[in-house]
Amino acid sequence: MYLGLLLHHLLIFPSMLTRL
């Protein structure tokens, strides 16, 4: 579902920022 994609991005985006 669309909400699933939004939640997935919300979880991935911060992890990418912390990797930097």
What would the pLDDT profile of 1-20 be if each residue is shown by its tens digit? 788 889 999 999 988 888 87
Q: How many residues belong to the chain?
A: 20
How far is the CA of 6 from the CAs of 2, 20, in angstroms?
A: 6, 22
- For the CA atoms of the chain, what is the radius of gyration? 9
Confidence (pLDDT) at 12: 92
Confidence (pLDDT) at 14: 85
- Residue whose token pair is 């979880």: 11
pTM: 0.25
